[in-house]
Structure 1
């Protein structure tokens, strides 16, 4: 990455290229490098334009910094998860007991979303459609 190089390191790379390639071939390779950089930039702009077309007007509202994976600290995420009380942040002892519904063989997934809580002491129902 050029962003991580200091001025002295860039000068050293230029001098090394001059020695390795020689003064006769250096302009030719510099032009090739410039064309390659332009091609990559055009490729990135095309991908950005295609993404903007596919996402529509909501593309401008996306906060890209929020999606940057470098901002996530696994230790902080685990610490916050362990310090947050269960059941959506309710204080201990104030949460409502979960409603338990009888698991019916062949019940749809909509039934599960309506409050069926997994009970490890009950046998898992056999689903003939899943096999």
Structure 2
């Protein structure tokens, strides 16, 4: 299904085109359509060969997928990722007194209600 066109829709378009063109011009336009399809296949084939020549055979297509840059997906993954783990304390840090630290905020989990401040603007 290309551009939402099903076989039935293509058949209706073909019948309408045949009626509009008439029996005299229909063979000429059918030949032009066949040539255009063949040329399109050749162009796609050469583009595919050129891409394989330039990128090689061991291409990871997932890295070239433009859907990975969808802002909605990036934000969703950032919100649902686990909180980063604090690095382990080294021996030199253990010898010095620990500075007063802020409490670590809870991570957002799916299905929980995030905190809400009614006075915030």
TM-score normalised over the length of structure 2: 0.56
Q: Which runs of 5+ in 2 are unaligned?
A: 89-121
Residues 22/4 of structure 1: CA separation in 2 closer, same or farther (3 Å cut): same
Runs in 1 of length 4+ with deviation above 6 angstroms?
Answer: none
Residues 31/72 of structure 1: CA separation in 2 closer, same or farther (3 Å cut): same
Secondary structure of the residue that 1:32 maps to in structure 2? helix
Q: Mean Cα displacement is larger for which, 24-33 or 42-51? A: 42-51
Q: Mean Cα displacement is larger for which, 24-33 or 5-14? A: 5-14
Residue 53, structure 1, aligned to residue 50, structure 2? no
Determine which structure has the larger helix proportion and give its number. Answer: 1
Counterpart in 1 of 2:109? none
Q: Which runs of 5+ in 1 are unaligned?
A: 97-131
TM-score normalised over the length of structure 1: 0.52
Q: Structure 1 residue aligned with 2:72, among 71, 75, 81?
A: 75
Count of paired positions: 88
Residue 16 (structure 1) shift: 0.9
> In the TM superposition, what whole-angstrom CA distance separates every residue of 1:6-60 from its partner, at most 9, and x where no partner exists?
23211210111111111111111111111111111111211222222233xxx22
Counterpart in 2 of 1:5? 5
Secondary structure of the residue that 1:4 maps to in structure 2? coil
Residue 32, structure 1, aligned to residue 32, structure 2? yes
> In the TM superposition, what whole-angstrom CA distance separates every residue of 1:41-91 from its partner, at most 9, and x where no partner exists?
111211222222233xxx222233553334665323112224446xxx742
Q: Please tell me the root mean square deviation across aligned C-alpha atoms, in Å.
A: 2.8
